[in-house]
């Protein structure tokens, strides 16, 4: 009788998962562009909102989750999550091997390099990948748009519709509020 063939067990291909961490404390078209480009490269992208108890946010964590979920509703391989631990620990727990960060200018680079190297030291299996910002949205930052909104400017051209909707529910600063007061988180 012919010897039974040993079953061939090809190595299970692991899904390629990336974490895109940030505050997203006012989601911009720049963030969304990065998410969209990133999701073409990976099986799954986890947009991870970092909880910082030391910082008073503009949008609560629940609001930011709702906005991000709404803005990525048509992106099946994008998940929205929150985390309150080291990014590498969160990435490891979720089976991600890559942390995505966006680069807008040289001024981003120094801090990002420091962060990437520290993260590599903490877990050498998790790599940081930098993606260049799109020239169309390179000048956008959450802080700039929060300031524009506080001063009565229209942010609709720079943010996805769920942000415009959420901003409509926010109280505008009272007339006569000083510049310093306006800069404080609402
Ligand atoms: P953080 O609080 O970590 O600075 P942000 O929410 O400001 O996070 O940004 C999250 C990530 O998105 C960072 O990697 C940042 O460089 C990137 N990013 C922010 N704005 C843009 C933009 N306009 N274009 C591309 N990437 C961006």
Domains of the chain (ranges, CATH numbers):
17-183 (3.40.50.620)
User: Within 10 Å of residue 57's Cβ, how many Cβ atoms?
Assistant: 17
- Averaged pLDDT, 87-106: 95
Give the pLDDT of residue 162.
98
- For residue 108, name the pLDDT band (cuts at 50, 70, 90): confident
Calculate how far, in angstroms, residue 31's C-alpha sits from the geometric centre of ligand 1. 6
Residue 89 bears catalytic tag: no
Phi, psi of 83 (to 5 degrees): -150, 150
Which is more confident, 9 or 73?
Answer: 73
- Please check the confidence at residue 186 and state whether its pLDDT lies above 50: no
150 noted as active-site residue: no
Q: Is 31 a catalytic residue?
A: yes
Give, for ligand 1, the residue of 33, 61, 102, 108 to mutate: max count of ligand atoms closer than 8 Å to Cβ: 102
- Mention every residue, 6+ apart, whose C-beta is less than 8 A from residue 6: none
Strands lying side by side in the sheet with 98-103: 78-83, 44-50, 17-22, 98-103, 127-132
């Amino acid at each position: 009788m012919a010897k039974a063939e040993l079953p061939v067990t090809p190595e299970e291909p692991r899904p390629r998962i990336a974490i895109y961490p940030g505050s997203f404390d006012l989601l911009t078209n720049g963030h969304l562009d990065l998410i969209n480009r990133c999701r073409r490269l990976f099986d799954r992208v986890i947009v991870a909102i970092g909880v910082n108890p030391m910082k008073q946010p503009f949008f609560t964590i629940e609001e930011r989750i709702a906005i991000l979920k709404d803005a990525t509703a048509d992106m099946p391989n994008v998940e929205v999550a929150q985390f309150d631990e080291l990014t590498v620990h969160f990435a490891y727990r979720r089976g991600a091997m890559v942390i995505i960060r966006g680069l807008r200018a040289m001024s981003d680079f120094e801090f990002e390099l420091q962060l990437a190297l520290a993260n590599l030291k903490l877990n050498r299996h998790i790599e940081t990948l930098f993606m260049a910002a799109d020239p169309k949205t390179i000048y956008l930052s959450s802080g700039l748009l929060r300031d524009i909104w506080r001063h009565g400017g229209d942010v609709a051209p720079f943010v996805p519709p769920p942000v415009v909707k959420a901003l409509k529910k926010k109280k505008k600063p009272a007339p006569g509020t000083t510049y310093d007061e306006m800069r404080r988180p609402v």
